[in-house]
Structure 1
Amino acid sequence: MTDSRASEMSPPPLVRALSKGRSSSAMVEQAKAEARAFFLDSKLNILLVAMPLAFISRFTGWGDGATFALSCLALVPLAERLGFVTEQLAMYTNDTLGGLLNATFGNATEMIISAFAMIQARKTLRTDPASTTTYLRVVQLSLLGSVASNLLLVMGTAFIAGGVKTKAQTFSQTGINVNAGMLILSCFAIMLPSLLDATKSGASDNNKSELALSRFESVFMFLCYCVFLYFQLKTHRHLYEEDSSSANTPINTGATSTRRPSHSGGGGAFTPPLGGDVELATSGAVGAGAAAAAGAGNGNGNGLVVSLSRSSLDGRDITLDGRFASRPVERTTSGGRSSAKADRERDVERLPLVLAANRAEDEAPDDDDDSHRSAAKDDDDEEEELVLSKTGCFLWLTGVTIFISFLSEFVTDAIKGASTNLRIPMPFLTTILLPIVGNAAEHASAIVFAYKNRIEIALGVAVGSSTQVSMMVVPFCVLLAWTMGLPLDLDFNGFESFVLFGCVLLAVLVVQDGHANYLKGMLLLLTYFFVAAGFWCHKDAQLVVKE
C-alpha cells in the first residue's frame, strides 16, 4: 500500500451515501453498523462487563483489590478496541501519518497509566515524599515490564504458536536488525544512570547526577526515535514491507529483455539472433495467431508486439514480451540473403507452436502463483476493510480514551491497597501484571499472526512495541515528569537493570539467524517465567507497602 492509499481507499457504502445526501436514516444505519463493528467484532469485548462493575466498586467501597482487578479486566478490551479504531483512522491517511498514529496510540494504555501515576505522585510530593517515590517507581517498573513482556512473553508465545503449525518460519533480518540496534541503544542509555549510581563509592548528591543524565539522554532518545520513524516510514520503508517484487514485476516491452528461468529446468531450447529483430504486428494471420497464443499464455490480451529473432533451427530463443532473452551464438549457415530469408520464414511458421509450448510449460506454475496472490490479496482486503467513517473514528477514539483514563486512575489509586488485599508483592504487580493487561490485545494478535505463518507481522508487534516503549514512552515519561517538577529518572537498581539487559540480549540473539521455531519460543517463555519469579521475590524498600 502506497502513500496514495487515502485516495484509492473507498469509504463504506453508508459513508458514500452520507456524502451524497443528508438522509437521517442513512446516518442511523451508519451508526448501527459502526456500533456493531465496535462491540461485536472482538471476542475480548465480553470483558467489558467488568467496566461498570469497576465503577461500582470504586464508588461504593468494594475494596482496592476488587477495584484493581475489575479495572484491569476492563482495560483489556478497551486497549484492543483502541488499536482497532486507530487502524481505521489510519486508512484515511497516508502511510506516514498512519504509522505515526499507530506509534502514538499503540502504547497509549501504558502512557495513560504512567501519566496518572505521575499525577498521584505530584499530589503527594510535599505531603508524603515516600508515596511520591512509590508512584514514580510504579512508572519505572511498569515500563520495564512492558519491554520484558513484549520481548519474552509475546515473542515466545508467537514462536510456539507458529512452530506448532509450521516446522520452521523465516523472516527478513534487515528490518529486525534495525529494531535490535535501537533496543541495544535504549538498554545502554537506561543502564548508564544505574551504573553511575553504583560507582559513586558512597558519595551522595541526592541523585542529582543521575537525574541530569537521565533527562539529557531522554531528549536525544526521543529525537532518535523520531528519526527512526522517518527511516521506517519514509526513506527505508521497503525494509519493513513484504517483498512483492515477484507479484508486481512490470513487463518489459523494450529492446532489452530480462531472462526468466525455464520451469522445466535444464538449458531448454533457445533461439539466438542472427540479424535484426523482426516485429510481428497483430494484423497479419500469423501475427494474430501469435498474439492470441501469447495473450493466452501470459494472461494479457492487449495489443502485444512480439519481438522475433532470426536464428538457426537447432538452437532457438524467442524474445517474447520480455520473457526470454536472446543470446548470441556462432552463425553456422552461409546461405546469404536467401538462406536468412528462409530461416526467417521457418521462424514465423514455428512461432505459434513455440508460444503454445511456452504456455503449456508456464500455465500450472503461473496459475498457482496467481491463486496465491489472489488469496493473499483477499486476506489483505479482509484485514483492511474500512468500517468506520472519519467522524466515527474520532468519536470512538475520544470515548475509548476517556474510559481508559478513568480505569487507569482507578488502577493507580488502588494499586497500593490491592497489593495488601490480594497479597501480591508490589514489584510483581507493577512489572508483570500491569504490562500484561496493557499489552493483552497485542499478545493475542501476535499469536494469531504467527499461527497463520505471518511471523514478520508478529515480530513487528513484539519487537516494534518494545522499541516504542524503550525509545519513545520511557523518555516521554521522563520529560513529562520534568515539566511536572517530579524527579523521575532512569536509575533502576542493579537487579532491574540486569533483567532489562538480559531480555534485550536474549531477544537479539534469537532473531539473528532469521528463523523462528517452537524451541526458541520455549526459551523466551521460560526466561519470562524466571523473570516473573524473580520479581515475586524482589524486595524494594521504595515499594514496601505497610500492612
Structure 2
Amino acid sequence: MSETCRVDSLNERPVQEIENESPRIPEISAQKSESTTHQKTLRRIVCNSVKIVIFSNRLNLLLPLGPLAIIVERLTNHHGWVFTLSLLGIMPLAERLGYATEQLAFYSGDTVGGLLNATFGNATELIISIYALKRGMTRVVQLSLLGSILSNMLLVLGCAFFGGGIVFNKKEQVFNKGTATVNAGLLLMAVMGLLFPAVLHYTHTEVHFGSSELALSRFSSCIMLVAYAAYLFFQLNSQRSLYLSLNEEEGDHGNSIEDDESPDISKWESVIWLAIMTALISVLSEYLVGAIEGASTSWKMPVSFISVILLPLVGNAAEHASAVMFAMKDKLDISLGVAIGSSTQISMFVIPLCVIIGWIMGHPLDLNFQLFETATLFLTIIVVVLLLQEGTSNYFKGLMLILCYLIVAASFFVHADPSY
C-alpha cells in the first residue's frame, strides 16, 4: 500500500511540473518570434534607408573618390590629385547632407526648414575651416568663408531665381520681404565688422600696432555672435508671425494647394544620416586642406581662386541643390532661407566663431579680410539688396546674379594675394 502511494506521488509530480511549465513555452516562443520580427523590421528599415539615401542619386557615383584620395595621399603624396579627388569625393557627401536636412525639414515649417538647411549646409565650411585653423592656414579660412558668402548670394540665389523663373515664366514669384530685409541688415552689419579692422590696418591708425586690430576683431566677433543669437530668438520665438513664409500664411488661412509630397525617411533616420555624412566630410576635409597649397603649385592657380571659388562650390552643393529645387516648386521663401540665410549665418556666426576658435587654439584670426576682398563683399551685398527690395523674383534677376558671380570669379583668378 505504501509502495503504491509512493509510485503515485512520483507519477503526479512530473505531471504537475509539466502543467506549471506548459504555459511558459508559448510565452518564450512568442518572445522569440517578437524579437525575430523586430530584427527583420529593423533590417528592412536600414536596407530601405540605405537604398534611398545612397543608391537613389547618380552623384553618389563619386563617393569612391573619397577613399581613393586617401590611398593616393598615402602612396604618392601627389597634392594635385589628392585635392581633386577629395574635392570630388566631398561633393556627394555635401549633397546628401542637404538631402537629409531636407527630409528633416518636412517635420518642421518653412522657417525652421530654411534654418536647418542653412545650418547643416554650412557644416562643410565650418569643418574645413577648423582643419585649416589647426594647420595655421588663417588666410585660407578667411578666403573660403568669404567665397561661401559670395557663392550663396550670387550663384546659389541666382540659380534659384533663374530656375524658378523658367518653370513659372507666366507669373512673378514672390517672397516675404520682412525676412529678406532683416537678413540684408545683418549682412551689412557683418560688412561693418569686416570693414573697420581693414580700415584700421590700411590707415595705420592703430593705438597698439599689431594688437589693436586683433583685439577689435575679437570684440566685434563676440558682438556679432550676440546679434545672431538675438536674431534667432527674434525670428523663431518672439516675432515668428512676421517671418512666416507665404506658403505657411496660405496654409493658415486654408488657401494652400494640397501638396502630395511626403518625407522619404523618418526623422530619426535623417538625424542618423546627418551624423554619418558630417563625420565622413570631416575625414576628407583634413586631406583636402592639406593639399591646397600643393594643388596651387601643381595647377599654377592662385590659392585665393582655389579658396574663394573652388572650395565653396563643394561646400555649397547642398544649398545649391535644395535652393534651386524649392524655387522650382514655387517655395521661394525656403530658397531665400537657404541662400541668404546661409550667407547671414556664415558672416554672423561661422566667421566670428572661427575667430574665437582660433583664439582658443593659439592661431590668431582677425576680421581684416584685406581691401580687395572686403570691397567685393560690400558690392555684392549692395547688388543683392537692390534686387530683393521689391519682394519678387524672375529669371532675369537670377541671370544677373549668375553673371555677377562670373565677374567675381574672373577677378579672383587674376588677383595675387599678398599672403602667398
Give the TM-score taking structure 1 as reference length: 0.66
Q: Post-superposition shift, 1:231?
A: 1.4
> Do 2:105 and 2:113's aligned partners in 1 also have CA atoms closer than 8 Å?
yes
Give 1:50's aligned residue.
Answer: 65
> Do 2:118 and 2:319's aligned partners in 1 also have CA atoms closer than 8 Å?
no
The CA distance in 1 between the partners of 2:248 and 2:281, in whole Å, is 38
Q: Post-superposition shift, 1:451?
A: 2.5
Letter in 2 for 1:119: K
> Do 1:218 and 1:478's aligned partners in 2 also have CA atoms closer than 8 Å?
yes
Aligned CA distance change for structure 1 residues 528 and 394 (closer, same or farther; 3 Å): closer
Give 2:213's aligned residue.
Answer: 210
The CA distance in 2 between the partners of 1:190 and 1:161, in whole Å, is 32
Q: Which runs of 5+ in 1 are unaligned?
A: 1-18, 122-134, 251-368
1:248-287 equivalent positions in 2, closer than 5 A: 248-249=252-253
Q: Post-superposition shift, 1:426?
A: 0.7
Counterpart check, 1:229 vs 2:232? yes
Give 1:486's aligned residue.
Answer: 363
How big is each residue's C-alpha offset from its partner over 1:332-358, in whole Å with a ceiling of 9 and x where there is no partner?
xxxxxxxxxxxxxxxxxxxxxxxxxxx
* Counterpart pick for 1:136 among 111, 135, 138: 138
Q: Post-superposition shift, 1:21?
A: 8.6
Aligned CA distance change for structure 1 residues 73 and 211 (closer, same or farther; 3 Å): same
Counterpart check, 1:474 vs 2:358? no
Q: Post-superposition shift, 1:491?
A: 0.6
How big is each residue's C-alpha offset from its partner over 1:168-197, in whole Å with a ceiling of 9 and x where there is no partner?
322221111111111111111111100111
What is the total number of aligned residue pairs between the two structures?
A: 385
Aligned CA distance change for structure 1 residues 449 and 85 (closer, same or farther; 3 Å): closer
Counterpart check, 1:432 vs 2:309? yes
Q: Percent identity?
A: 44
The CA distance in 2 between the partners of 1:84 and 1:194, in whole Å, is 38
The CA distance in 2 between the partners of 1:234 and 1:20, in whole Å, is 44
Letter in 2 for 1:523: M
How big is each residue's C-alpha offset from its partner over 1:229-269, in whole Å with a ceiling of 9 and x where there is no partner?
1112222223133355555448xxxxxxxxxxxxxxxxxxx
The CA distance in 1 between the partners of 2:330 and 2:358, in whole Å, is 42
* Counterpart pick for 2:129 among 114, 137, 161: 114
Give 1:199's aligned residue.
Answer: 203
Letter in 2 for 1:60: L
Letter in 1 for 2:365: L
Q: Post-superposition shift, 1:446?
A: 1.6
Greater fraction of residues in helix? 2
Give 2:12's aligned residue.
Answer: none
> Do 2:125 and 2:315's aligned partners in 1 also have CA atoms closer than 8 Å?
yes
Q: Which runs of 5+ in 2 are unaligned?
A: 1-33
The CA distance in 2 between the partners of 1:101 and 1:245, in whole Å, is 20
The CA distance in 2 between the partners of 1:93 and 1:165, in whole Å, is 26
The CA distance in 2 between the partners of 1:536 and 1:116, in whole Å, is 24
Aligned CA distance change for structure 1 residues 530 and 95 (closer, same or farther; 3 Å): closer
The CA distance in 2 between the partners of 1:481 and 1:447, in whole Å, is 34
How big is each residue's C-alpha offset from its partner over 1:15-49, in whole Å with a ceiling of 9 and x where there is no partner?
xxxx9996211111111111112202333222213
Q: Post-superposition shift, 1:533?
A: 1.1
Aligned CA distance change for structure 1 residues 47 and 236 (closer, same or farther; 3 Å): farther
Give 1:176's aligned residue.
Answer: 180
* Counterpart pick for 2:93 among 78, 84, 96: 78
Q: Post-superposition shift, 1:515?
A: 1.7
Give 1:396's aligned residue.
Answer: 273
Counterpart check, 1:517 vs 2:399? no
Please tell me whether Structure 1 or Structure 2 has the larger radius of gyration of its CA atoms: 1
Give 1:157's aligned residue.
Answer: 159
The CA distance in 2 between the partners of 1:510 and 1:500, in whole Å, is 16
Letter in 2 for 1:24: Q
Q: Post-superposition shift, 1:141?
A: 0.4
Counterpart check, 1:454 vs 2:315? no
Give 2:415's aligned residue.
Answer: 538
> Do 1:95 and 1:233's aligned partners in 2 also have CA atoms closer than 8 Å?
no
Letter in 2 for 1:175: T
Letter in 2 for 1:373: I
Letter in 1 for 2:135: Q
> Do 2:113 and 2:334's aligned partners in 1 also have CA atoms closer than 8 Å?
no
Give 2:257's aligned residue.
Answer: 373
> Do 2:72 and 2:81's aligned partners in 1 also have CA atoms closer than 8 Å?
yes
The CA distance in 1 between the partners of 2:100 and 2:356, in whole Å, is 28
* Counterpart pick for 1:147 among 139, 149, 160: 149
The CA distance in 1 between the partners of 2:248 and 2:267, in whole Å, is 30
The CA distance in 1 between the partners of 2:293 and 2:216, in whole Å, is 30
Aligned CA distance change for structure 1 residues 194 and 20 (closer, same or farther; 3 Å): farther
Aligned CA distance change for structure 1 residues 93 and 158 (closer, same or farther; 3 Å): closer
> Do 1:154 and 1:462's aligned partners in 2 also have CA atoms closer than 8 Å?
yes
1:412-431 equivalent positions in 2, closer than 5 A: 412-431=289-308
The CA distance in 2 between the partners of 1:216 and 1:248, in whole Å, is 43
3-state SS in 1 of match to 2:91: helix
Give 2:265's aligned residue.
Answer: 387
Aligned CA distance change for structure 1 residues 425 and 245 (closer, same or farther; 3 Å): closer
Q: Post-superposition shift, 1:454?
A: 2.5
3-state SS in 2 of match to 1:141: helix
Q: Post-superposition shift, 1:68?
A: 0.4
How big is each residue's C-alpha offset from its partner over 1:385-425, in whole Å with a ceiling of 9 and x where there is no partner?
151462x4454333322211111001110000000111211
Aligned CA distance change for structure 1 residues 95 and 529 (closer, same or farther; 3 Å): closer
Q: Post-superposition shift, 1:216?
A: 0.2
* Counterpart pick for 2:76 among 61, 73, 89: 61
> Do 2:111 and 2:334's aligned partners in 1 also have CA atoms closer than 8 Å?
no
Considering only aligned residues, what root-mean-square deviation do their CA atoms show, in Å? 2.6
3-state SS in 2 of match to 1:378: coil
The CA distance in 2 between the partners of 1:378 and 1:483, in whole Å, is 49
The CA distance in 2 between the partners of 1:461 and 1:218, in whole Å, is 23
Aligned CA distance change for structure 1 residues 426 and 207 (closer, same or farther; 3 Å): same
